[in-house]
């Protein structure tokens, strides 16, 4: 059996989610190829070729692929599927957009956001905001799978696969790309960061969120996250949202500040290795999952934490 992994990238660099998805793919088969669909993405393909265990890298380039349009990606992948038994995509907003389209075109069910490969037909995936884990066995001839990347270790480097250019397909004739506004940040990416500092509704304003959360994140070299409540209130941009309906993170250290711990937030961070919660309400549900809880007002606790980190040489 051969497996295709669709790379996660921004046309300039390959994202670590790809390496993690390759690990999941290698649990299915030793014959793993990577598709880089983008524009001006030769560097991404070269990086993918270095992932240990990758047999071959396919590079398809067009404007519509560079914009990540679902119709365009689907058009490239469908003809390739004659040669593959499964296609795996990291469950990013990008992957979630096109993968089900591929599945329906192949007349198969998608197996969404797997966290474990049991065997070539059997997978584990969270349902109900991570309150249950479902083990499913697929009877479809081809598997279309999205992978919750945080559940898999990243495949290392050391490969030397060949890069092969392939056709770019028909694009997305019914869709026009208007524009894209991405926030540029010097901080690590939320889903790949080793440390995440998140703020909640207690911040009270966007200014306060920036004043409190961002310096602490920078001191720790951390990514910044937020609860849904904080995002809904406009204190933080939407792509900061950690939770069932936002990003799922599993860093070494997750610091939740002024976050009560709604089910939907816990679903996005409860697999973190160490969880710290700072909240003035000692009964907040976040303390039930926290390894270290500090019952205190963030207004005094965060400055004290900054000082303690400085004292500790951070």
Partner 1 sequence: MKVLVPVKRVIDYNVKARVKPDQSGVDLANVKMSMNPFCEIAVEEAVRQKEKGVATEVVAVSIGPIQAQETLRTALAMGADRAILIQTDQDPEPLAVAKLLQAIIAEESPDVVIMGKQAIDGDNNATGQMLAALLDWPQATFANAIELSAGSAKVAREVDGGIQTLDVALPAIITADLRLNEPRYASLPNIMKAKKKPLDIKEAATLGVDLTPRLKVVKVTEPAKRGGGIKVESAADLVTNLKTAGVL
The footprint of partner 1 on residues 261-280 (CB under 8 A) is 263, 270, 273-276
Range in contact with partner 1 (rule: CB under 8 A) among 35-43, 49-57, 200-208, 289-297: 289-297
Q: Encode burial over 126-144: b for 16+ CB neighbours within 10 A, e otherwise.
A: beebbeeeeeeebeeebbb
Q: How many other C-beta atoms are found inside a 10 Å radius of the C-beta of residue 309?
A: 13
Q: Which of 41, 57, 80, 111 binds partner 1 (CB under 8 A)?
A: 111
Site membership for partner 1, residue 165 (CB under 8 A): no
* Least distance CB 161 / partner 1 (angstroms): 26
Which of 289, 292, 260, 279 is CA-nearest to residue 131?
A: 289
Site membership for partner 1, residue 119 (CB under 8 A): no
* Least distance CB 56 / partner 1 (angstroms): 27
Question: On the CB side of 46, how many CA atoms lie within 13 Å of its CA?
Answer: 6
Site membership for partner 1, residue 297 (CB under 8 A): no
| 3-class SS string, 111-131 | EEEECEEEECCEEEEEEHHHC
Measure the CA–CA gap between 62 and 170, rounded to whole angstroms: 10
Site membership for partner 1, residue 299 (CB under 8 A): no
Please check whether residue 147 is in contact with residue 123, taking contact to mean a CB–CB distance below 8 angstroms: no
| Window 33 to 92, contacts with partner 1 (CB under 8 A) | 67-71, 74, 92
Site membership for partner 1, residue 12 (CB under 8 A): no
CA-CA-CA-CA torsion for 266, 269, 272, 276, nearest 10 degrees? -70
Our CB check for partner 1 shows the closer of 31 and 228 to be: 228
Site membership for partner 1, residue 177 (CB under 8 A): yes
Our CB check for partner 1 shows the closer of 133 and 162 to be: 133
């Amino acid at each position: 059996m051969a497996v295709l992994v669709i790379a996660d990238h921004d046309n300039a660099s390959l994202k670590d989610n790809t390496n993690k998805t390759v690990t999941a793919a290698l649990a299915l088969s030793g014959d793993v190829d990577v598709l880089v669909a983008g524009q001006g993405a030769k560097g991404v393909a070269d990086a993918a070729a270095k992932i240990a265990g990758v047999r071959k890298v396919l590079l398809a380039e067009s404007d519509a692929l560079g914009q990540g349009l679902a119709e365009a990606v689907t058009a490239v992948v469908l003809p390739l599927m004659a040669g593959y038994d499964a296609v795996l995509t990291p469950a990013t907003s990008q992957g979630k957009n096109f993968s089900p389209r591929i599945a329906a075109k192949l007349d198969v069910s998608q197996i969404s956001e797997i966290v474990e490969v049991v065997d070539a037909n059997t997978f584990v995936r969270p349902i109900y905001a991570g309150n249950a884990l479902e083990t499913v066995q697929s009877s479809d001839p081809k598997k279309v799978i999205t992978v919750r990347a945080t559940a898999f270790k990243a495949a290392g480097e050391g490969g030397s696969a060949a890069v092969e250019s392939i056709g770019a397909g028909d694009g997305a004739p019914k869709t026009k790309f208007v524009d894209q506004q991405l926030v540029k940040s010097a901080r690590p990416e939320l889903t790949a960061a080793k440390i995440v500092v998140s703020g909640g509704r207690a911040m009270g304003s966007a200014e306060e969120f920036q004043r409190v959360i961002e310096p602490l994140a920078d001191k720790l070299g951390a990514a910044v996250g937020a609860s849904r409540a904080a995002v809904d209130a406009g204190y933080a941009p939407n792509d900061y949202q950690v939770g069932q309906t936002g990003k799922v993170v599993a860093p070494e250290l997750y610091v939740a500040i002024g976050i009560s711990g709604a089910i939907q937030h816990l679903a996005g961070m409860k697999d973190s290795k160490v969880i710290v919660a700072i909240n003035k309400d000692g009964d907040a549900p976040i303390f039930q999952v926290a390894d270290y809880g500090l019952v205190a007002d963030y207004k005094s606790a965060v400055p004290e934490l900054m000082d303690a980190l400085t004292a500790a040489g951070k």
